[in-house]
Chains A and B, each alone.
Chain A
Amino acid sequence: QKEVEQDPGPLSVPEGAIVSLNCTYSNSAFQYFMWYRQYSRKGPELLMYTYSSGNKEDGRFTAQVDKSSKYISLFIRDSQPSDSATYLCAMSGSQDTNAGKSTFGDGTTLTVKP
């Protein structure tokens, strides 16, 4: 079983829809939770970063972490065609000897249709 499981998708939604992207994990030592967006043929870019449980909002994006359920989500409101990309969840914890070493999900490809 993988340490991080991500809903595989692909996901196709109409413009303006609310999108929910989700990951589950098994390692209770994870404390840092990230969401990256990767456009085709580009490197991933950091979207949201959350420490421990709770919600974090940034514009149209909201990240939620539920450590009790080992479940994280990224919500995109009023989705736009420019949001079409692959979204990767990532997480890491203090058990990692190298700062920043993360475990990634396999990614969910999102298409927002005009």
Chain B
Amino acid sequence: GAVVSQHPSWVICKSGTSVKIECRSLDFQATTMFWYRQFPKQSLMLMATSNEGSKATYEQGVEKDKFLINHASLTLSTLTVTSAHPEDSSFYICSASSGTALQETQYFGPGTRLLVL
């Protein structure tokens, strides 16, 4: 159980375009989803926390107008990187928490590798 999927698994785009990444909890309802960015050989950097039906909470230094997050249902959250630039190239990982007995644990998706040319 506790499976989280992400789509696409990798994407290459031109500078200036927007890219949407989907995160789905497949077998549980995720009250909270998290979006992370991870650069090579570095740890996870939390970008934002989203609760279903409400606005996302962004970490300090993360531009909310550039990284649009929508958590429209209990099983789906999307991250849109708007007007992507080469410095946005990274590994983006989502995670989901069910808020049940294991409410303090997160289950991670497989990640999306973004390359902006």
Contact = CB atoms under 8 A, between A and B. Distances in A.
Interface of A: 31-32, 34, 36, 41-46, 49, 51, 88, 90, 92-93, 98-102, 104-107
Given A99-B99, A99-B103, A101-B49, A44 B31 contact: no
Given A32-B104, A41-B91, A99-B104, 10 more contacts: A34-B106, A41-B113, A42-B111, A88-B43, A92-B104, A98-B51, A98-B97, A100-B99, A100-B104, A102-B106
Contacts of B103: 99-100
Contacts of A42: 110-111
Contacts of B6: 43
Which 5 residue pairs spanning A and B have beta carbons closest together? A100-B97, A32-B104, A43-B108, A99-B103, A99-B99
Interface string B74-104: 0000000000000000010101111100111
A106 B105 CA distance: 18
A14 B104 CA distance: 34
A43 B109 CA distance: 6
